[in-house]
Amino acid sequence: MVKLQELADKLRKEKIRVHRADVSLGKKGIHIGIINEIKRLLKLQGCIKIRVLRGARNIVTEADIAKLAAELNADIVDRRGYTYILISRRILKNSPKKKVNRTYTPNKSGQQLQTGTQPQAHKNNNKDNLNLGS
């Protein structure tokens, strides 16, 4: 398995949580239609879940899934029984490697902001300019 960065790990956990697989491999095994669908989903989502159904367990091996992942520029990041999670290498490459602390600093020069000041009201208020005969 590959060491995951933050975004890739988040995608992997989301796919584990979702019960339904994106692609199911049946008794026909790995064919061009399945390859094109996996390629499309990897490009669209970046992470897919593949389940090998009972009828295909004699046909499709873990080596076949690893070869398929290598051809599609993806990595197998999780395997649970006959279910595999693949993440595109572009997601792994583009995810941030370390967490950056992004706190808000109101003034970069180090000066403190003035507190307790109220914004001034507009001076051309019509009610203030009226002479009511007083």
**Do 69 and 42 contact (CB within 8 A), yes or no?**
no
SS3 of residue 52 by DSSP:
strand
In this prediction the pTM is: 0.61
pLDDT per position as a tens digit, 91-126: 777 755 555 555 655 555 555 555 555 555 555 555
Distances (CA, A) of 40 to 27, 34, 78, 106: 21, 10, 20, 44
Query: Domain coordinates of the chain in residue numbers?
Result: 6-93
Superfamily name and number for 6-93: YhbY-like (3.30.110.60)
pLDDT per position as a tens digit, 22-53: 899 999 999 999 999 999 999 998 889 999 99
SS3 of residue 50 by DSSP:
strand
